[in-house]
Amino acid sequence: MPNLQHLAANAPADEIARLLDTDGALILDDVLAPADLARVSGEIDPYVEATGYGRDAFAGFQTTRTGALVARSPACRELVMHPAILAACDVFLKRACDRYIVHLTQVIRIRPGQPRQPLHRDRLAWGGFLPMSIEPQLNTIWAMTDFTFENGATQVVPGSPAWPDSRRAQPDEVGYAEMCAGSVLVYSGSVIHGGGENRANADRTGVNLTYCLGWLRQEENQYLSCPPSIARTLDPKLQALLGYAMGSYALGYFSPPLPPGEGPEVAPPQWALNAEVAPGWGEEMPETVTQRLRAKAAS
């Protein structure tokens, strides 16, 4: 059975990105302390307890999936903005975008009796239309419980990002993301993986926080899951991660639907959160776009 590489919580972003390219996944050990875990669980558990089971075999008839974690949990906001993960996103995702955004926030609780999930690549969320040369996604699963082979540790096929679509993993090519509570599975949108079978008698719970290229549609609609009334109260960096910032020079502006002459005709998304930002919003342009426009003007 292949093994996943384990790195220390402070591993350099380049090393994480390199392993995502080659293996497609890795584990960061012991990122959260027991007190952090207790805080996250305390905030999400009431929502998890109130969540019904999945409605098909892929979502899992013995699995609960609970979303809107940025709106619901201040502790999850910190996980979304964890510096080690954002540094890895900077290296891994900015090869194909000016700004990356949150794609999905979901507590996945695999309960006893849940069979293994069919193996898949998460990039299929976009229907297989993206060329394989573009890596669209960086994913994390934060272990709230220990992840073991017995309780449903994520199945992962190391090296599969480079496989043709037609290749199917043999049982001896599937590894398991076994890790202690507080560790984080980091995996790409191209690696073949799936939830594991829970043969144990207790839940396996992970917080799945994923990021995608800023020019792609998000799996979980962040403008609805975290509407302006809540987003207004968040750190501006988190607002931008949800999509409340320009994604590129011309990506994401809006015209506030106000009576004639009231408000700006065009505004960046965060104008909806804080009407102050409208003047000078060109400064919000990501650096790579600014550089590209300068180079174009100079040529």
Ligand X SMILES: O=C(O)CCC(=O)C(=O)O
Residues that bind Fe ion (CB under 5 A): 122
- Select from ligand X, Fe ion, none the partner in contact with residue 195, using the beta carbon and a kind-dependent cut-off of 5 to 8 Å: ligand X
Report in angstroms how near the CB of residue 217 gets to ligand X at its nearest.
17
- Residue 154, token pair as written in the block: 């994520």
Nearer to Fe ion, 63 or 225 (CB): 63
Site residues (vs ligand X, CB under 6 A): 108, 117, 122, 141, 154, 193-195, 206
From ligand X, Fe ion, none, which one binds at residue 268 (CB under 5 to 8 Å depending on kind)?
none
Q: How far apart are alpha carbons 38 and 274 in whole angstroms?
A: 33
Residue number with CB closer to ligand X (117 or 225): 117
The residue sitting closest to Fe ion, measured at its beta carbon, is: 122
Residue 90 Cβ vs Fe ion, minimum distance, rounded to whole Å: 23
- Residue spans of beta strands (DSSP E) within the chain: 6-8, 25-29, 63-66, 100-110, 137-143, 155-156, 175-176, 184-188, 193-194, 204-213
How far apart are CB 118 and ligand X at their closest, in Å? 10
Annotate 14-29 with three-state secondary structure: HHHHHHHHHCCEEEEE
Partner touching 154 among Fe ion, ligand X, none, CB below 5 to 8 Å by kind: ligand X
Q: How far is the CB of 284 from ligand X (least distance, A)?
A: 32
Burial (CB count within 10 angstroms: exposed 0-12, middle 13-18, buried 19+), residue 236: middle
Phi, psi for 268 (deg, rounded to 5): -75, 160
Q: Which is nearer to Fe ion, 114 or 239 (CB)?
A: 114
Is the Cβ of residue 141 or residue 272 nearer to Fe ion in the bound state? 141
3-state secondary structure of 45: helix
Q: Which is nearer to ligand X, 98 or 122 (CB)?
A: 122
- 38 vs 57 by CB, closer to ligand X: 57
List the single partner that 206 binds among Fe ion, ligand X, none, CB under 5 to 8 Å by kind.
Answer: ligand X
- Shortest spacing between CB 193 and ligand X, in angstroms: 5
Q: What's the rounded Cα separation, in Å, for the pair 175 and 58?
A: 19
Hey, which residues does 186 pair with through a beta bridge?
26, 140
Given a contact cutoff of 8 angstroms between Cβ atoms, the answer to whether 147 and 138 are in contact is no
Smallest distance, ligand X to C-beta of residue 6, A? 17
